[in-house]
Amino acid sequence: MSLAADSPVHSSSSDDFAAFLDTELDSASDVSPDQDEVENEEAEGEEEVEDEEEQDEDGGDGDDHDDVGSDSSRINKRKAEVLEAAVYPMSSASRGEPAETSGASLDICSHPGVMGGMCIRCGQTVENESGVAFGYIHKNLRLADDEIARLRDKDLKNLLRHKKLYLVLDLDHTLLNSTRLADISAEELYLKDQREVLPGYTDALRSNLFKLDWIHMMTKLRPFVHTFLKEASSLFEMYIYTMGERPYALEMANLLDPGGIYFHSRVIAQGDCTQRHQKGLDVVVGQESAVLILDDTEAVWGKHKENLILMERYHFFTSSCRQFGLKCKSLSETKSDENEAEGALASVLKVLQQIHTLFFDPVCFLLFLPQN
């Protein structure tokens, strides 16, 4: 599935990165090493070609060795150009701004990022890969701390120009509820046959309930979630951040955002976390001071509780109630659901809108600026 479609206001440094990079790296590797030389030979004329042939006869092995080294260097340089072009021009930081150049030679490159053992700027092999992994942007991508700080600063400036902030969204019990098919209770069996007539309930159920046989699960989206995402996307750049595995996270992202207009590649899963059993903003390309978090579990955000808005848990399935020791019938067993207009997502949307309004109030906004 693709999560790389363009959004109307498009600002993440990870948007469209993976697809663009794969295509360009393939083309860079397929370039014929002799392509540029052919044009030069045609311009130089027959006499120079003959001289080159004589040199090949006298010492061809040495020339071939030089050519191989030159070819390898040129391909590495091309790959480095592609990597850097993919990381920086794709970011909101550089949209509408000229690319930064330090003027320093490649010999003293600070190696701002590494992918597959190669610096994304100079193309040199880097043995000690430090920094933070951003595997959700592209496999094996790591960025240095200084580079992350630079990208965050520039991304924030662009976001503020669009009067937007960052919003990090949990999945389970916040935006949706999932259960294994094997855990469906006897009173929930009707869910497997959505054709059953349930007056005042069936239409909403059909559009928000998904039986995912290929992963042996059933998922129910929380009422109001589609309206919530649409409204919130005009105020925030949104991330999904879950302790679930990546295949599950991507499947849920596709249910929530089938058109790929809200999240793009900003789907962070358990394997992207830098601390076991903890979620952190160190893998979010956004300034912490401009990030809001919606999650039903406070404990996983030990370092970022000031950013957290704690959500009431959504327990649609019986297994969810059992998981948290609730001795009551689930919403599915009572064939009911949260009120769309007055439920948790509708309520928290109003809070987010108020926070956004206060943040961009002229007085409050001036206090937030870096110089203050």
Contact indicator for 264, 7 with CB cutoff of 8 Å: yes
pLDDT in tens, 40-77: 444 454 454 455 555 554 544 555 555 555 555 555 55
Residues 6+ apart with CB under 8 A from 235: 163, 164, 165, 167, 352, 353, 356
Instruction: List the one residue out of 304, 239, 307 whose CA is nearest residue 275.
Output: 304
Would you say residue 348 has pLDDT above 90?
A: yes
Lowest-pLDDT choice from 21-35, 247-261, 286-300: 21-35
Residues 6 or more apart whose CB falls under 8 angstroms from that of 36 comprise none
pLDDT tops 90 at residue 314: yes
Q: Is the pLDDT of residue 18 over 50?
A: no
Name which of 98-102, 221-225, 296-300, 328-332 the model is least confident about. 98-102
Contact between residue 82 and residue 28 where contact means Cβ atoms under 8 Å apart:
yes
Three-class secondary structure of residue 346 per DSSP: helix
Instruction: Please name the fold of domain 163-368.
Output: Rossmann fold (3.40.50)
Q: How confident is the model at residue 322 (pLDDT cuts 50, 70, 90)?
A: very high
Please give the single-letter amino acid code of residue 213: D
What percent helix, strand, coil does the chain show, rounded to 5?
45, 15, 40
For position 124, what pLDDT does the model report? 84
**Three-state DSSP state, 169:** strand
Strand order in the sheet with 141-143: 118-119, 113-115, 141-143, 132-133
**pLDDT score at 290:** 95
Q: Where do we find the tokens 């019938």?
A: 329
Reduced to 3 states, what is the DSSP secondary structure of residue 243?
Answer: coil
Q: Determine the residue type at 103.
A: G
Compute the average pLDDT of residues 123-134. Answer: 83
Domain range annotation of the chain: 11-41+72-94+110-162, 163-368
CA neighbours within 13 Å on the CB side: how many for 254? 10
Residue 167 has pLDDT above 50, yes or no: yes
Cβ(167)–Cβ(232) under 8 Å? yes
Which residues make beta-bridge pairs with 295? 310
Confidence of residue 80 (pLDDT cuts 50, 70, 90): low
Q: DSSP E strands: which ranges in 120-235?
A: 132-133, 141-143, 165-169, 176-180, 209-212, 217-221
Instruction: Please give the average per-residue pLDDT across 259-267, as a whole number.
Output: 95
Q: Where are the alpha helices (DSSP H) in the chain?
A: 17-30, 35-44, 46-87, 145-161, 202-208, 225-233, 246-256, 318-323, 344-359, 362-368
199/148 Cα distance (integer angstroms) = 53
CB-CB contact of 170 with 295 (8 Å): yes
Please, are residues 306 and 298 in contact by the beta-carbon 8 Å criterion? no
β-pairing, 176-180 vs 209-212, is unpaired
Across the chain, mean pLDDT equals: 78
Q: How confident is the model at residue 192 (pLDDT cuts 50, 70, 90)?
A: confident
pLDDT at 369: 62
Residue carrying the six token digits 């978090």: 293
Mean pLDDT of 147-159: 92
Give the pLDDT confidence score for residue 73 in this predicted structure: 57
